[in-house]
Amino acid sequence: MAHIDLPDLPGIRGLMAFSPETAGPLNELAEILLRDNANSLTRGERELIATYVSALNDCFFCSNVHGAMAGHYLQCDMEGIDRIKGDFASADIPAKLKSLLRIAGSVQKGGKYVTISQITDARTLGATDREIHDTVLIAAAFCMFNRYVDGLGTQAPPDRQYYINRASQRAAEGYLDFELYKYK
């Protein structure tokens, strides 16, 4: 049971219904960071960063929502996403993305864990300042979203298929203009 009296919706959606005045900017931030097409990181790469950080924060709801989104964009099943987030260093993904995931992993521990050599590595592998910026902010934002979801004890559907079933719809609708109560 959630720590406060929330509408009967899973994960962050109950919180968004409870507090629409904060839900607006939170959704807008998610939309810009993860879905905006004016970005040289693909949606799949950005969702993967969100998934990895959510897994490090042990947030079941967020790691499955965004894992399913990453799988949708990268045409990879949940087992494949699990393998990447469990050991991205040996996964079949671009070296630049690995260097960005390394930065994201440091951000998850705390801002000061990011090292100059991690930044230099990412830049050497072709990451732009904008991509490094967005990686840090996505990782930081999920340190917020994950704490929001688990800090208020929200409920997450335990069946992972639930998240897979909703990914294509969410990819089409985005994080901004969706009907909060439509897909219970």
Partner 1 sequence: MPYIDIQNDLPGIRGLMAFSPHTAEPMGLLANALLHHSDGLLAAERELIAAHVSYLNDCFYCQHSHAEIACYYLDGDRQLVDQVRTGDDQAAISPKLKALLRVAAKVQQGGKAVQPADIELSRKEGATDKEIHDTVLIAAAFCMFNRYVDGLGATTPADLGSYPPRAKQVAENGYGPHIFSTSQPAGPSVKPL
H helix or E strand, kind and range, residue 46 = helix 43-56
Distances (CA, A) of 79 to 68, 105, 161: 10, 21, 12
The interface with partner 1 within residues 66-125 (CB under 8 A) comprises 103, 106-107, 110-112, 114, 116, 119
Q: How far apart are the first and last CA of the chain?
A: 17
**137 lines the binding site for partner 1 (CB under 8 A):** yes
Taking the complex as a whole, the smallest distance from the CB of residue 43 to partner 1 amounts, in Å, to 16
Taking the complex as a whole, the smallest distance from the CB of residue 80 to partner 1 amounts, in Å, to 27
CA angle 142, 40, 30 (to 5 degrees): 30
Rounding to the nearest 10 degrees, give the CA dihedral for residues 80, 161, 47, 145: -130
Q: Which is nearer to partner 1, 36 or 159 (CB)?
A: 36
One residue of 147, 159, 168, 169 binding partner 1 per CB under 8 A: 147
**3 lines the binding site for partner 1 (CB under 8 A):** yes
59's tokens: 């947030």
Q: How far apart are CA 34 and CA 83, in angstroms?
A: 21
The interface with partner 1 within residues 49-68 (CB under 8 A) comprises 57-59
Q: Which spans of this chain sit near partner 1 (rule: CB under 8 A)?
A: 3-5, 15, 18-19, 21-22, 24-26, 28-29, 32-33, 36, 57-59, 103, 106-107, 110-112, 114, 116, 119, 129-130, 132-133, 136-137, 139-141, 143-153
